[in-house]
Structure 1
Amino acid sequence: MKAILYVGHGTRSKKGAAEAKQFLQSVIEQTHGSIQEISFLELTHPFIEEGFELCIKKGATEITVVPLFLLAAGHIKNDIPEALTPLIEKYPNVQVKVADPFGVQHQILDAIAELVKEKAGELNGQEAILIVGRGSSDPVIHEAFAMIGKGLEQRLGIKHSRLCYLAATTPTFQEGIESITQETKDRVIVIPYLLFGGLLLNEINAEVKSRQKNGYQILHTDCLSRHQVIRNIVIARATGKEDEYATTRY
């Protein structure tokens, strides 16, 4: 019997965890499968082992693991495989397939452009965008964000963009937002490249509000899971229709 195990990152924020679970529940309701379980890599229960064991108890002989991660950083390359290895060894007769992370997809960039236009209204091309990533020391992530920045510039007709990160690498979020607000005479649009709300999005929101009070023309878009395309991509991963959402296209 086939099963689907969704794996989110996890968060210390109760609101963020509830948001992620609510999102996944909506995916489950739209995905035909008798065994579907939710799990998280860290910080939020149930963890991967708990979700995997629930799939087994319900009779799973094939498990498709669907990571809810935007890019292939250390969690995808190391942490999730490390969590799954003892489970695969424990249940050698169970086939386990791990779906790819989302990657840089033109559908996601189109969705972000829509979120920007919904928030900012009509653009004049003089605005600047600040793309904020979670952060990773992996150079592949930096290459991906360069593609994301270029793709959004093209879609929005904006010439000035910057990238920054909330942890693990530079430029930091504080460095990025300070630089772009000083350089830009028009509006600054901050784009959190995050799937769900939580402490990281709260940090961005607090900084943006602080600068708004100081007279800066600055705003930020919401987390990416607010757009239907993200839900569609997760469903495609879960049902084995990944080819409908090809990566590295922007």
Structure 2
Amino acid sequence: MMADDLAIVVAGHGSRDPAGRAEFEALVGLMANQASGISHAYLEFATPTVEDALRSAVQSGARRVVLLPALLLAAAHAKNDMPGELALLKQEAPATAFFYAGVAELHPLLLRLCQRRMVEAEAAAGHTAARGDTLLVVVGRGTSDPDANAEVYKLARMLEEGMGYGGAYVCYSGTAQPLVMDGLLRAARLGFKRLLVFPLFLFDGVLVKRIYAAADALAARQPELEVLKADYLRPCAELA
């Protein structure tokens, strides 16, 4: 079977923010530079939908279709929604072989990219500070899935120990507790000279902007505390 028979549908969560959708599609573009047959889809907030993109791949003649979730962690969308979409298409097109790829999880390349974002934020501060005096604050999306929430803690601990920070704290943009502002206020009371706030997100969007706004609000409220904002992951060669 030739490569022309293979289609890869990269599925993003979707965002109401045009910047978030543009960045997702930019990442898919980077991937398309490396392989043929790649298209994109959204779970919500934008089109094409996952169902429509899968059906289009079948109608275009693909005999093998891979659904690749552009998600960091395996929560409800990755465990239930996307496999459900595949199950429906399998019934419609029994002659087509469907495959489901995994989410990023804590892949070594992802960890290195996170570390790079930390270093970039420290360099942008314009002055040095001991990492032992810095509290890393990792902000996850938040989900009702405890396994996905726990993975954010695991990542934070790996970054803390691997880079020598004085501590790590985790909060979430929604669903799970503590939420961003409450989490930042609690983190500020732990006695560190510097907080390094890192949104664990692939793309820009409403939630990322809220995280940065909360960090700015904390800095204005407590000017004696240095609050750095690390960049989110954003499209790059490591992710493609």
Question: What TM-score, normalized to structure 1?
Answer: 0.87
In the TM superposition, 1:164-175 aligns within 5 A as: 164-175=171-182
Q: Aligned pair in 2 of structure 1 residues 222, 166: CA closer, same or farther (>3 Å)?
A: same
Change (3 A) 1:190 1:47: same
In the alignment, the residues of structure 2 paired with residue 153 and residue 22 of structure 1 have an alpha-carbon distance, to the nearest angstrom, of: 30
**Superposition map of 1:214-229 within 5 A:** 214=221, 215=223, 216-229=225-238
Partner SS state of residue 27, structure 1: helix
> Is residue 65 from structure 1 mapped to residue 62 from structure 2 by the alignment?
no
Superposed, 1:1-150 pairs within 5 Å as: 1-30=5-34, 32-33=35-36, 35-121=37-123, 122-124=128-130, 125-150=132-157
List per-residue Cα deviations over 1:201-236 (Å, max 9, x = no partner).
Answer: 0101111222233314112212213443222xxxxx
Q: CA deviation at 1:143?
A: 2.8
The residue number in structure 2 matching 1:189 is: 196
Residues 45 and 208 from structure 1, CA distance in 2 versus in 1: closer, same or farther, beyond 3 angstroms?
Answer: same
Letter aligned with residue 37 of structure 1:
S
Secondary structure at the residue paired with 1:44? coil
Q: Aligned partners of 1:196 and 1:107: how far apart in 2? A: 17
Report the 3-state secondary structure (helix = DSSP H, G, I; strand = E; otherwise coil) of the residue aligned with 2:239.
Answer: helix
> Given that residues 111 and 227 in structure 1 are in contact (C-alpha distance below 8 angstroms), is that contact kept between their aligned partners in structure 2?
no
Output the CA distance in 2 between the equivalents of 1:88 and 1:155.
Answer: 43
Residue 241 of structure 1 is matched in structure 2 by none
Alignment RMSD: 1.5
Question: What residue ranges of structure 2 are gaps of 5+ in the alignment?
Answer: none
Deviation, structure 1 residue 156: 1.6
4+ residue runs of structure 1 moved beyond 6 angstroms? none
Q: How many positions carry a matched residue from both structures?
A: 229
Supply the distance in 1 between the matched residues of 2:202 and 2:12 (Cα, whole angstroms). 10
Deviation at 1:188, TM superposition (A): 0.4
Q: Structure 1 vs Structure 2: percent identity of aligned residues?
A: 26
C-alpha distance in 2, partners of 1:127/1:19?
A: 30
Q: Deviations over 1:117-138 (max 9, x none)?
A: 1111355121001110001122
